[in-house]
Structure 1
């Protein structure tokens, strides 16, 4: 019973965080997510999975921010990405949303999405499109 209560509280927190998120005009996104159908009883499992993804996403983002410039104030949440995408990078505000139904690892998603933010913050333009990361990443390392 205690485990169920914890899962429900985490689920409610994830829903509140997703609902509080605003949608800035500038964003980039990854490939569409293939949403797996699930039974109603599996919703609690999905909520626990989302909480675990949030923790691992924040840890991975912290590791990337320690390595690369322009990422110090970037945030990441797990919720609902628009248009069925795996994730979306709101590059103008430095916010990444990973869809809770993502099909690739959080690490793979962030390794792609942070480069949209670095691309924008480098010169105020998106120069690289979806060809991320760029060939030369060393110039963005923190020294």
Structure 2
């Protein structure tokens, strides 16, 4: 896994633009499970996830779905197999999730949604559905 620190320093692109890298995944670090489609045969998918006030983004795995997540609004509490402590999500945070990451997130607000923009390398199952280890996503992931 990459030990780079994020966010990286802001870079000026031209007189009107600056760029700040918030998170990344090195493709060579992604382990595709035996039942998964090769990375080059997947779709890059962008979604806006909204979790209702007090609601939960259910437990799910990124074993076969590497993703970058950017918190647009709200705050959440992440419970993950990567840390014994909870991680607080807040607007502007960006996370890379892949390989053996499993987590669930609780919206901490009682009146505001938690909005997360996600980019993932989605495997629709067409390549691995017949594999004995294939695990279909049951919760819309």
Whether TM exceeds 0.5 here: the answer is no
User: Where is the helix percentage greater, Structure 1 or Structure 2?
Assistant: 1
Higher RCO, 1 vs 2 (CA within 8 Å, ≥6 residues apart): 2
Q: TM-score with structure 2 length normalisation? A: 0.23
User: Where is the strand percentage greater, Structure 1 or Structure 2?
Assistant: 2
